[in-house]
Amino acid sequence: MADSLLSQLKKMTTVVADTGDLDAIRRFSPQDATTNPSLILQAAQQERRRARMAEIARESVDIDNAVDSVAVEVGSEISALVPGYVSTEVSARLSFDRDATVNRALSLIERYARQGVEADRILIKVAATWEGIQAARLLEREGIRTNLTLLFSFTQAQACADAGATLVSPFVGRILDWHKHRNPDADFSDSRDPGVQSVKRIFDHYKGHGYKTIVMGASFRNLGEITALAGCDRLTISPALLDELENRQGTLERQLIPTDADTPHSEPLDQASFRWQMNEDEMASDKLSDGIRKFMADQRKLEALLADLRQQ
């Protein structure tokens, strides 16, 4: 029998599980795993976790503390199942506060240490706002690795590389969503997908200029987006799409090939340039704001769940 698309993909790209579902992680044996407020909420709502969630809520000094404790609890369990990184997100509420983001990140790393998980196993996820990127710059200088998320533009990717971020997560599917909403009859399949094109541009720029920042495509809507990015450093994929990849045969050809790093690093963006370029990019501005709101909406649901459990 021919190899599955998933087994072929793993030979050219590091596969990451985009889930907090421990059973799915056990099944697919990814190298890394990523979480976000939406996925942590799903994990916290599992009936088997209810008693432990209530215990955490009652032991915490406030709801912010409880939310971080839950994220680290789930992340620590995941760390025992994957050999690589576990991404844990700083509260979306802090997306425009550099110093608060740094302080919360340090707190998360300390919590993981108390669980026996070393800092080099954790990627602190931060929204790729200007403030988030500058927080990542400070954290990387302290040896804390970062994952810049909600990335929709080349401008964000440039600033993240300038900051020395360990990894960036360009959101393929959400870019496609924006364009399909405005051009519902257009053909966005495979290489014509604007989200795929965005990741390829970032990948080629990083490799051609010698940046060490890892490119991890995220937020996929279909298999075509994934196969069109075969060869990307990392791809974080939902269990549903991992299942499709595992059950699909055929030949998977590498699409992204690193070029020689023969071009000097580009001129770093300053704050004014970053904000102006983001302002000029309607899609990136829309989706960044929308992404922060959606993550915060799920965090509020988690906060409400924990507040309710705290009273029981």
Residues classed as catalytic: 125
Question: Which pair of tokens denotes residue 210?
Answer: 């010698």
Residues 6+ apart with CB under 8 A from 240: none
Q: Buried (b) or exposed (e) across 182-209, using 16+ Cβ within 10 A?
A: eeeeeebeeeebbbbebbbebbebbbeb
What is the distance between the alpha carbons of residues 120 and 212, in angstroms, rounded to a whole number?
16
Interatomic CA distance for residues 270 and 159, integer angstroms: 8
Distance CA 17, CA 225 (A): 16
Q: Which residue has the tokens 């789930």?
A: 74
Widest distance between CA atoms in the chain: 62
Strands of 67-156 (E only): list them: 86-89, 122-127, 146-151
